[in-house]
């Protein structure tokens, strides 16, 4: 599985950054089964003079565009993309020089094909981000088009689910991010289904929150009617496998029949929830249920 790696660069080797990040928002809009439009909005306060912002990504970037406001005034910018060491793409946004105390708002948008994967006859959105400096507010929104069914896994659990303009919207919000913090986002969904209402998905998710987990719903048309099948959650599968005793993480990959990356992210999330424990053993981890 391919995960997006996004890095925010350090600005100074002396411990002070070129700017403070007041807010960092990412909007993912699924255009079709292979393409996503990504929009990033960053609010900065300058600590020194600079005239460029760089965005790094390890997946393809097409048709990049940017808008920059300095102290509320729109500025003309220059946007360019180039590959650097390791095949990473760098998007350079150049604008008029700013000075200490200036407030800068940067909006970058582009199309990419690297975040959607085919996993066990379903689509899976996957994104990874690591911050190299503090962020006051981190905000993520994923827009699922009308006619798509959400499936497990959903990592982490969204802070909000709503219907907007015939689209389902999943939202995550985090505050006071520290340097070095990382986040993983995984959402499974089916292909397009005719006659499906996203309002029904909202009901499903509200029920899932009340139950404390996402079961996911798979929709199929049979004889002109939709049939709903409840999918067993990945967390339940792991817990069932661990009931008979500890299992190596490498063995869980084989038994679950999914990628190493997906299992790693799933187990990290379960560990944070206090469901399991992982102990390093050789090149793998020994995974066991956490004792109460």
Q: How far apart are alpha carbons 289 and 129 in whole angstroms?
A: 28
Is 215 part of any domain? Answer: no
Give me the tens of pLDDT residue by residue for the chain, a chain 292 residues long.
334 444 444 444 335 799 999 999 999 999 888 899 999 999 999 999 999 999 888 778 899 999 999 999 999 999 999 887 667 888 999 999 999 999 999 999 999 887 888 877 778 888 888 888 999 999 999 998 887 878 877 888 899 988 877 788 999 999 999 998 888 888 988 765 444 444 444 544 543 443 333 333 322 333 232 222 233 467 778 887 887 788 998 888 888 877 777 788 888 888 887 788 898 888 788 998 877 5
Q: In the predicted model, what is the mean pLDDT of the chain?
A: 78
Q: How far apart are alpha carbons 131 and 133 in whole angstroms?
A: 6
If one counts the domains in the chain, the total is 2
Is 194 part of any domain? Answer: no
Beta bridge pairs of residue 177: 135
Q: Is the CB of residue 190 less than 8 Å from the CB of residue 123?
A: yes
Same domain, 167 and 243: no
- Residue 243: give the domain boundaries: 234-289
Domain final residue pick, 189, 217, 244: 189
Is 71 part of any domain? Answer: yes
CB-based burial, 179-202: b 16+ in 10 Å, e otherwise: eeeebbbbbbbbeeeeebebebbe
């Amino acid at each position: 599985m391919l995960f997006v790696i996004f890095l925010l660069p350090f600005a100074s080797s002396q411990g002070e950054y070129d700017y403070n990040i007041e807010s960092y928002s990412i909007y993912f809009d699924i255009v079709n089964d292979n393409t996503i439009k990504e929009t990033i909005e960053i609010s900065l306060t300058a600590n020194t003079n600079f005239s460029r912002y760089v965005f790094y990504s390890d997946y393809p970037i097409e048709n990049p565009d940017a808008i920059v406001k300095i102290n509320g005034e729109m500025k003309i910018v220059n946007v360019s993309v180039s590959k650097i060491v390791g095949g990473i793409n760098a998007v350079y946004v150049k604008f008029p020089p700013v000075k200490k105390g200036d407030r800068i708002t940067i909006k970058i948008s582009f199309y990419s094909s690297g975040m959607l994967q085919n996993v066990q006859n379903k689509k899976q959105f996957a994104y990874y981000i690591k911050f190299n400096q503090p962020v006051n507010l981190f905000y993520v929104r994923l827009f699922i088009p009308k006619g798509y069914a959400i499936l497990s896994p959903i990592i982490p659990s969204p802070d909000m689910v709503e219907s907007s303009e015939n689209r389902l919207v999943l939202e995550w919000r985090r505050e006071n991010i520290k340097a070095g913090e990382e986040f993983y986002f995984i959402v499974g969904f089916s292909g397009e289904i005719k006659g499906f209402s996203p309002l029904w998905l909202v009901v499903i998710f509200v029920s899932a929150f009340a139950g404390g987990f996402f079961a996911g719903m798979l929709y199929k048309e049979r004889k002109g009617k939709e049939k709903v099948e409840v999918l067993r959650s990945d967390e339940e599968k792991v817990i069932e496998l661990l009931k008979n005793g500890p299992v190596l993480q490498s063995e869980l990959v084989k038994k679950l029949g999914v990628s190493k990356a997906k299992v790693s992210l799933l187990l990290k999330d379960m560990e944070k929830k206090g469901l399991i424990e992982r102990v390093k053993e050789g090149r793998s981890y020994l995974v066991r249920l956490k004792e109460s």
